[in-house]
Amino acid sequence: MRRHRPDEDGAAVVDFVLLSVLLVLLLLAVLQVAIYFYARNIVAASAADAARFAAAEHVDPAAGGPRAERLVHAGLDERDASAIHCIGEPGRDAASGLTVARVHCRGHLHLLFSGLPVPLTIDVTSAVLREGRP
């Protein structure tokens, strides 16, 4: 059994404050990572949908970029969505040489809980085989 010493008065309060600050910072970091992965999934799904749209037979492959940006704006807040830009372009599949419609989205997210100008980069590319004759 430990005896109470008078020079330890208030030590529990100091321990609580120190641990609380660390736990709150850890919680904010976990939330920031979750938001980053949510936004990355939104951008990846938007690029994939836009690439499928641009791969249709009578659609210009460049139309995939604006469609992906509209989908990103629908899924993210305006501040983050305006920092992500998408480009649709025709291309060739490296393995088969077939024509593909490619959508490339690139941008950054802002830190949610900090005023620091540290961007979190998102870079997603999606390619789909074009319909019609090769």
- Is 134 among the domain residues? no
* Rounded CA separation 113/33 (Å): 11
Instruction: Report helix, strand or coil for 133.
Output: coil
What's the domain range around 32?
7-129
- Is 118 among the domain residues? yes
The answer to whether 57 touches 128, Cβ cutoff 8 Å, is no
pLDDT of residue 111 exceeding 90:
no
DSSP 23-83: HHHHHHHHHHHHHHHHHHHHHHHHHHHHHHHHTSTTS-GGGHHHHHHHHHHHHS-HHHHTT
* Rounded CA separation 14/99 (Å): 65
For residue 61, give the nearest of 90, 28, 98, 26 by alpha carbon: 90
For residue 123, give the nearest of 111, 110, 105, 109 by alpha carbon: 105
- Is 49 among the domain residues? yes
Q: How many domains does the chain have?
A: 1
The percent of residues in the chain predicted with pLDDT above 70, rounded, is 93
Give the per-residue pLDDT at 73: 97
Question: From residue 1, how far is each of 9, 15, 116 by CA, in Å?
Answer: 18, 21, 48
- Is 1 among the domain residues? no
Give the per-residue pLDDT at 14: 87
* Rounded CA separation 84/66 (Å): 11
| Least confident span in 1-5, 21-25, 65-69 | 1-5
